[in-house]
Amino acid sequence: MIPIQTTITGYSGKACTLFSAYDQDAQVLVISVEAAYRRDRRDGCMVITNDLNLERDGVFSEEELQASITAFFSMQGGIASDGKSQRLVFSDKAARANPAQSIEKDGIDSSGQRYRISESITNAQIAAMATCWYAAHRVDTVGKMLTMADKLIDIERLNRGMILTI
C-alpha cells in the first residue's frame, strides 16, 4: 500500500490536501480524507503538489491535466485485479473531491477524447485527478524501474561469479 498526500492550490475554494492510498497489487486507489492545506509531509507519504514551495516527490502541472482526466475516468470505470472491485473509491470524508460532476466530455479529435472542465472546479477535485494521474503513470513506472534495477544487480552478481538464489 502506497500512502499519497496530494496538495493543490490555485483553483476554486480553499487550498487543500487530499490523503489517499494506492494498492499496486489490487490496482485500487482509495481517496480517503480531504483536509486543510498542509505544508508538512505526513510520515511515509508520497507528496504530489502543484505548489513548488513544498518538499515533494512529484509535481503536478497544467500539462498533466489531460492525462489526469483520462486516468480518473479510466480508474473510475476500471475493475481491480480481483475482477470484481472498483479501481477508484472515494470515502465519505473525501466525497466532495470527486471531480465527475465538474468534467464534461467535449467530443473526440485526432489526439483522443476532449474534455471541458468547469470554471468552478475545486482544489480538492484537481487533487483527486492528480492522485489518479500519479497512481496510473508514476507509481507503476517507479515499481517497474525498481524491478529492473534488481534484475540488473542480479546480472552483475552473476558476472562477478557470485551465487544467485532463485
Query: Cell numbers of 141, please?
Result: 513506472
Note the pLDDT tens digit of each residue in 105-134.
888 888 778 888 999 999 999 999 999 999
Would 166 be classed as within a structural domain?
no
Would 69 be classed as within a structural domain?
yes
How high is the pLDDT of residue 141? 56
Q: What are phi and psi of 139, to 5 degrees?
A: -60, -50
How high is the pLDDT of residue 23? 92
**Hey, is 138 helix, strand or coil?**
helix
Domain coverage including residue 150: 2-159
**Beta-sheet strands, E only, within 75-111:** 88-90, 103-109
Query: Cell numbers of 78, please?
Result: 476500471
Would 165 be classed as within a structural domain?
no
Which residues are 103's β-sheet partners?
117
- pTM for the whole thing? 0.81
Would 145 be classed as within a structural domain?
yes
What is the average per-residue pLDDT within 29-43?
Answer: 94
Would 141 be classed as within a structural domain?
yes
Provide the number of structural domains found in the chain.
1
Q: What are phi and psi of 114, to 5 degrees?
A: -105, 150
Would 151 be classed as within a structural domain?
yes
CATH number of the domain residue 130 falls in: 3.30.420
Note the pLDDT tens digit of each residue in 69-109.
999 999 999 999 899 999 999 999 999 999 999 999 888 88
